[in-house]
Each structure stands twice: as structure tokens, then as C-alpha cells.
Amino acid sequence: MKNTIALNATELAKLEKDGLNVVKDIGKFSKEGFAALTAADFDRLKYVGLYIQRPKTDEKFMLRVKIPAGQLNTNQARVLAHIAEAYGHGVFDVTNRHSIQFHWIGIEDVPAIFKALDLVQLTTLQAAGDCPRSIVANPLDGYDPDEFLDTRGIFKQLNDFFHNNRDFSNLPRKYKIAVSGGLYNSVNAELNDVAFVPAVKTVDGNEAKGFNVLVGGGLSREPHLAKKLDIFVLPDEVLKVAAGVGSLFRDYGYREKRNHARLKFLIEDWGLGKFQAKLLKLTGPLQSAGTPVSKGWNAGRFFGFNNQKQAGLSYLGIAVVSGRLAASELREIARLADDYGDGSLRTTNSQDLIILNIPNSAAEQLEKEPFFIKQKSLWNSLNAYTGVCTGNEFCPFGLVETKTCVKKIADKLEEAVGTDIPLRVHISGCGHSCGQPQIADIGLQGAVYSRDGKPYSGFEVWVGGKLGDGARFGKKLLGTVGTDEISEVLADLVKSYRQEALSRETFAEYIHRATLKKITA
């Protein structure tokens, strides 16, 4: 391991005991209770998806459950609903990396929860911690009519390799991997440490389907879009490249300061040329980059009935407002998936859900279900296009409330300008950017500012962000807007777009063309 000078407290704790070893301590912790846990224990518990919940005096945790590539069946869904009802006040959140998050979890209940998850082959291992996190993929892998490559086998190979792999259990920070053969970038490839995006290249005289490779993406206080390496990777080469990138991160990544420990900073300092040369020493020679085949970016959203690649079958994309769902709603979705499909569900990277394999002949009857009727009204609502983190309701870092706030904003925008303007509104409760505000049409990040000598909560504002072709972060507007003013300020901004936009000009295009007035608190 390199860079062992002036290690931070988290690094010292990892040297003392591997984070994956915390699995052996769960029984002891559940008996001794919250008060017996040390700071190092709290760090290690992240390796099984447990984070201290706000307020700490409640002695509760947030628990993150991995849903590999979003693949979920109805038996698993009912177990998740049971956990929410028994331990999580009847609700849970869907994350933007396929996972499920519960709140109000007591350490004394964790063994029973883990046993229930294990019975349906679900796990929380490496859902957090300084290790490879949940690998994101196209939730429609194998079903997508616009699919360039079916990556289910590649995903399984990656997931099996990195899961519980102690060669990668002590990284400088989290390691995020994405792989997709879809044409519409549902994985938000540019935000990952390494992403494999579909491409084509002539290899040995034949056209080969494979991937170009992006590295060094990430948000937080210093957002970076991932940069393209000059390599083309065949399907059977994906694993060695992902392992090689992870190895470079492990061996050369920064460990002195936690806020400077992501792969993006190493790549920024080294440059792509040096990073690629080091990578090729580990992987052996690879082809130069191929021709990308992506057609755009769909932000991971798949609402309504859509044809699958399988003749006569459709999938139903379900909007989950603010990513939060009641256990009773999940049970109803599971019933619909069993009654009208084959019990296959998916979580998406837009914090939503999908029911797969619905015969087209059953669609008319499904459309009469009360749940479907309620859903149909959502798909034309801005509330369906929001992205939201946990916020200060539970997160120790959160500076503002997010879940109800984003609904108020979406409702105000609809009232002011209607629903015919497709706007993605994202809120992150703090500077960690878990709500991904920089890639939204309108992105808000929680902040504290002074007014009349008193502290108030408010938002920093990004506008005009997008991924895919021409990917760029939103413009960060000057100043901070108070939580009591934000809806009106944004409504005025969107009204200006409606009045001044050129024909067929999107909100993001307008933002980057127009001269905006400063927004001040």
C-alpha cells in the first residue's frame, strides 16, 4: 500500500481491523447495545450497510440493502415490506444505485433482519464502506428492446468477484462501478469511478461489440465528469479492467484526507495518459477506443407500459415520488407483478420500480387496477421526475429537509407553468451531493446562510445539468436562496424559460444560452 503517511482516523481503524470483519461482531453488538459502540465500530458497521441515523440520541441506524442490478423478485419484495413494517415505521427509500434503505433500525434488531434477508438471498454486505459499492446496470438488461449488449453475465461476473473480496476491502474511499449495454445511459455512466459504455470496433477484420471505458467520475464538493480512456474492452475483458482500476485506486489513492480520497483526484493529478499506462501494465494490451453507440440519456426513467424485446410482453415503469414507498404499496406492486407478470421486479437508478414480463393481453385488465390509475396521473407530474436524498430528517450531514420540500417545489412549478415542460428537479440535503443536483435541470443543495445576523437554511442552486451527449454540470448560480423563497424563485425562472425559449429548446439548452440574473438570498 502506498501513501501511508499521516493517515486519517478511518484509515488507522481499517489497519487495526478489516471492515468486513464486522460481520462477526453483529451478534455481540446486538447484545451489548448502541452505547457500547465506539467510533471505529460505527465506521466498520458501514460495511454491512449501517449508518448512524439523526438524531444520534435516538440510537437508531439507517440500513441499506443491496439489490444487485436492481433485480428483485416478489418473495424478496415481501420480505423487504415485512422489514419496513416490523422495524422501519412502515416505509423505505429506493436509492439512485438500485438499493433499498430503511430507517429507525435498532442494533438489537439487526441479527433478525439479516436472517430474513439471507433467506431470500439479499445482503447488505458492502452496501457502504471503503470498498466496491453496489454495481449499477441497466435495469432492463435482457429485456430492453433498444439493448446493444445483454450484460447480465458480465454483471454477475463483476458482482461475484468483488463481493466479500478482501483484496478490495480497504480502499481509500468507495469504488463505484457501472456497466450497461443499453443505448440510453440509464446508469449515469459519467458519475462513476469506472463505467463501461457500449461501443463497436473492428477487431481482426470483424465488427465487435464491446465497451469504451470512462474513469474518475463523482460529485460532492468537487464534481468531476468521468473521462474516456483510449481503450476498447470486449465483454470477457471487463472484469480485468474493473479489477485493474480498483487496484490502482487501492495502491495509489490518497488516504490522508477523507475529502480528497476519491479516484477522481488521483486521475486529475496523474492525467489520463499516466493512469492508462499504469492500467495497461496490469491488464496487458487492449484495443484503442471504439465508436460509441449510445443514443442519449434517459436519466434512468421508464414510466408506463413499454414493449420488451420479447414478443408479446411489456414492462410497466412505476414512479416512486421522492424515492419513498410504503410497505403496503410494495406489497400491492408485488401482487400486481404476480397476477399480471411472472413476479420479476426491478429497482432503477432514478429511485423508481419496474414490473417485467406482462403479457400484452393482460395490459387492459391491469389498467383498471386502482394502483395503475393513480400511477397514470403521476407520469405527467413533475413529482415523478424528482431525485432526492435522505436530507436532515435522518442524515447527520443534512442541512435541509428534502422529501416534502421537493414535492412543494414540484407542485409550485406545476401551478406556475403547467406540466408540459419536462423538468428534472433534484435536491441534496448537503454538499455530499447524494441527490445529484449538478445533473438536474434544477438542482438544489442544502446550505446554511446568515440573514439579519441569524442562521437560516436554504439552497445553493444549479441549473441546466445533463449527462449523455454534451454532458455538463449545471450552472451554479450565485447566492443562497432560503427554503421559504425557493419555490417562488424557481417558478419565476421557469416562467422566463417559457417566455424566452427558442423553438424546441430544452430548459438545459436555454440555461446555457441565456444570460441569467444573479440569484441572491
- Give the catalytic positions in this structure: 64, 173-174, 429, 434-435
- Those residues whose C-beta lies under 8 Å from the C-beta of residue 391, and which sit 6 or more positions away, are 398, 400, 401, 402, 403, 405, 427, 429, 446
Which segments of 22-179 does DSSP mark as H helices, in order?
Answer: 26-32, 39-45, 74-87, 110-119, 152-162
- Those residues whose C-beta lies under 8 Å from the C-beta of residue 277, and which sit 6 or more positions away, are none
State the number of CA atoms in the 13 A half-sphere of 51 facing the CB. 19
Residue 149 · residue 140 · CB < 8 Å:
no
Torsion angle defined by CA atoms of residues 409, 415, 416 and 417, in that order, rounded to the nearest 10 degrees? 100
- Those residues whose C-beta lies under 8 Å from the C-beta of residue 148, and which sit 6 or more positions away, are 181, 182, 183, 198, 209, 293
Nearest Cα residue to 337 out of 65, 77, 70, 66? 77
Residue 166 · residue 257 · CB < 8 Å:
no
> Grid coordinates standing for 96?
439512485
Helices (H) and strands (E) in the chain, counts: 15, 22
- The residue written with cell numbers 491488464 in the block is 283
- Those residues whose C-beta lies under 8 Å from the C-beta of residue 350, and which sit 6 or more positions away, are 96, 299, 300, 301, 387
Distances (CA, A) of 380 to 56, 300, 329, 383, 422: 39, 16, 20, 9, 9
Q: What are residue 208's DSSP bridge partners?
A: 201
Phi and psi angles of residue 404, each rounded to the nearest 5 degrees, phi first: -80, -30
DSSP state at residue 474: P
Which segments of 261-418 does DSSP mark as H helices, in order?
Answer: 263-270, 272-283, 327-340, 363-366, 370-378, 403-417
The bridge status of strand 61-65 relative to strand 304-307 is: unpaired
Query: Chain centroid to CA 22: how far?
Result: 25
Residue 312 · residue 218 · CB < 8 Å:
no
Q: What are residue 178's DSSP bridge partners?
A: 136, 195
Taking the alpha carbons at both ends of the chain, their separation in whole angstroms is: 47
Q: Which element (helix H / strand E) includes 305? A: strand 304-307
